[in-house]
Amino acid sequence: QSVLTQPPSASGTPGQRVTISCSGSSSNIESNTVHWYQQVPGSAPKLLIYTNNQRPSGVPDRFSGSKSGTSASLAISGLQSEDEGDYYCSTWDDSLHGVLFGGGTKLTVL
């Protein structure tokens, strides 16, 4: 069981907006920045959002992140079939002195 809690699955139809939540605590999300990774089937994870809401070069602006208190969210607008895959939130934990990953959310485009 991960310290960072994500819903195991999410889905949407092409063009829809989908959000994925990530819930933590005062020692991790509340005190540190949150990052999101995307892993499409058969590929290595890729950094999607860093420092709560920043997109690396090449990531479409359909992807956005936010953080409030002990929770964070990833939003994907204009859903496309190539967005199918697993999404992980991540942050530092001040008590564990290490990085945490959420359990991952499997996104299905219907």
Closest CB to other proteins among residues 37, 63? 37
Measured in degrees and rounded to the nearest 5, phi and psi for residue 81 equal: -60, -30
Distance of closest approach, residue 97 Cβ to other proteins, in angstroms: 5
List alpha helices for the chain, DSSP H. none
2 forms part of the interface with other proteins (CB under 8 A): yes
Distance of closest approach, residue 50 Cβ to other proteins, in angstroms: 4
Distance of closest approach, residue 15 Cβ to other proteins, in angstroms: 28
84 forms part of the interface with other proteins (CB under 8 A): no
Distance of closest approach, residue 32 Cβ to other proteins, in angstroms: 6
Residue ranges that bind other proteins, judged by CB under 8 A: 2, 32-33, 35, 37, 39, 44-47, 50-51, 56, 86, 88, 90, 92, 96-104
